[in-house]
Structure 1
């Protein structure tokens, strides 16, 4: 069991992971005029296209740093103080905005296996990487371990590493955890053995990148494959 000070330190993070593991479609009413309620499977490009706007406008009006949106989220689709009516002056469809990291940081893949499930911002908050039982799981960058344990059932045996004031990485579905809470780790250091634990898959590692506590697409931070 984690000491009390460690539990207090990571409680907001663990709460966020619990909400992710248990998340469903929010019980939300219809969007008011000039706004749009994000539905399951929506993307910013799709919402912009429906509204006759550009992705850049939607992001600017909603102060979005990246393309990550949540089911049930309310987005402004008209200019602040503008008319709810929409339309593209040029009649052309807006182009999707290129994905870019929310912070400038390069990470390494924790295992070499193929991506078998990709981030979608709603049902998948990270990526799933194929592994063989017992395969080593490595830290994506240098940092400090802020959580080790199996207290979140949907994540199995879990490790969370804090890299700086904004970025953490999450490693789930492990068979064996090889680091302790509070430990400093180096990029590429083996921190766990893959293979799953009771109730979670044993043929993959679940990997997340979180910026300011919010799950983001890990891909822009990783070397291309």
Structure 2
């Protein structure tokens, strides 16, 4: 191609390019105006639920009796067996007095009646043993002694004097026996050992210390293993723990000296009998009640 013709094409191309750069577009490119954006709508606060719509908190059963004598408020970790033992009652009685459909389910804060209905809780106290009153001991079927005087008295006999209010109660005059033949291996301590311990061999006999009724025979009280509890009267319960085998059943009547269990090591690191006496539910030193050997 001649140089003159090449120069002509170059001039024409340059002119077309310059004209294209100067053409105004029909639709200008959109420009974002940040100041013209609509304001974000404020979120209205959610009104708090009114007291009328809040769910009602139901108080625990028996809460109206909290703090009253003769009632017990359930604490964390409590079991009905423990509550009954600590108040000197049978767990079945406590369950009946409180209409418990499932005695294994009691809730924290629940208030339980632990004295019989109709009984004044302030009157449920141990009767003291009179120190100045002489108590005569004789068989139940024995007749009172007959006076040796043959002549009738010259004056009419005086009216019988009512028994003093401080007379010894049947509860405190019961005859005690020993639960085992072994000697004591650990004594009573109000804080660390609420009874007596007796070391022995597996299968050694465990005996009831007095007449009574079995109110518990099982392993539901933690730390006691296989446990037998006997209620002797309105004042005293006795407990026999860590047995290998239990030879009595709940509600069974037992006699003093009857074999009720075999010594073992359930929930214990050694073979032993742990023996407790509860007076109105409170642990007392059994050594002060058991007879001399």
Aligned to 2:177: 108
Aligned to 1:224: 292
Length, aligned pairs only? 137
* Residue 223 of structure 1, CA deviation: 1.5
Aligned to 1:151: 220
Aligned to 1:191: 260
Structure 1 gap ranges (5+): 1-7, 18-62, 67-101
Q: Tell me the distance in 2 between the aligned counterparts of 1:143 and 1:222.
A: 16
Aligned to 1:212: 280
What are the equivalent positions in structure 2 for 1:163-178 lying under 5 Å apart? 163-178=232-247
Contact 1:195 1:201 in 2 (8 A): no
Structure 2 gap ranges (5+): 1-78, 89-124, 129-170
* Residue 208 of structure 1, CA deviation: 0.5
What are the equivalent positions in structure 2 for 1:1-225 lying under 5 Å apart? 12-14=83-85, 103-197=172-266, 199-225=267-293
Deviations 1:7-57 (A, max 9, x none): x9956324669xxxxxxxxxxxxxxxxxxxxxxxxxxxxxxxxxxxxxxxx
Q: Tell me the distance in 2 between the aligned counterparts of 1:11 and 1:128.
A: 20
Deviations 1:149-175 (A, max 9, x none): 101120010000000011010000100
Contact 1:194 1:202 in 2 (8 A): no
What TM-score does the superposition give when structure 2 sets the normalisation length? 0.43
Q: Tell me the distance in 2 between the aligned counterparts of 1:196 and 1:106.
A: 29
Q: Tell me the distance in 1 between the aligned counterparts of 2:127 and 2:193.
A: 19
Which 4+ runs in 1 deviate beyond 4 A? 8-11, 14-17, 63-66
Q: Tell me the distance in 2 between the aligned counterparts of 1:184 and 1:170.
A: 15
Q: Which structure has the greater CA radius of gyration? A: 2
Q: Which structure's relative contact order is higher, taking Cα pairs within 8 Å and 6+ residues apart?
A: 1
Q: Tell me the distance in 2 between the aligned counterparts of 1:186 and 1:65.
A: 24
**Matched residue of 2:84: which SS?**
helix
What TM-score does the superposition give when structure 1 sets the normalisation length? 0.55
Deviations 1:187-223 (A, max 9, x none): 11111011222x3144210001111011001012112
Contact 2:87 2:280 in 1 (8 A): no
Aligned to 1:43: none
Q: Tell me the distance in 2 between the aligned counterparts of 1:123 and 1:195.
A: 21
Contact 1:172 1:205 in 2 (8 A): yes
**Matched residue of 2:223: which SS?**
helix
**Matched residue of 1:196: which SS?**
coil
Contact 1:144 1:182 in 2 (8 A): yes
Aligned to 1:27: none
